[in-house]
Amino acid sequence: MNAKELRAKSAADLQDELLKLRKEQFSIRMQSATGQTVKPSEYGRVRKSIARLKTVMGQKLVSEKLVSEKLVSEKK
């Protein structure tokens, strides 16, 4: 999923997506630990997806904070 698609989602949807990716990351680690074959590219794909998701979540948090500060300053 690319960043543009992530930005269109709500905060709750992003949290659900993060939980899903963390579970997938755990599953890949367990498959590797039990000797099952895992594509090495899966580690990087999931890790980068988590980083992308967290970046979008942080950007949303900052933008919401700026908007709320702007509204407070306009009321004064």
Those residues whose C-beta lies under 8 Å from the C-beta of residue 46, and which sit 6 or more positions away, are: 21, 24, 25, 28
Q: How many CB atoms lie within 10 A of CB 42?
A: 15
- Segment 50-63 shows an average pLDDT of 94
Reply yes or no on whether the pLDDT at 4 is more than 80: yes
Contact 43, 26 (CB under 8 A): no
Closest CA to 5 of 53, 51, 48, 43: 53
- Segment 44-71 shows an average pLDDT of 90
- Segment 48-75 shows an average pLDDT of 87
Closest CA to 64 of 13, 11, 14: 11
Domains of the chain, first to last: 3-75 (1.10.287.310)
- Segment 5-34 shows an average pLDDT of 95
Query: Does 58 or 64 have the greater pLDDT score?
Result: 58
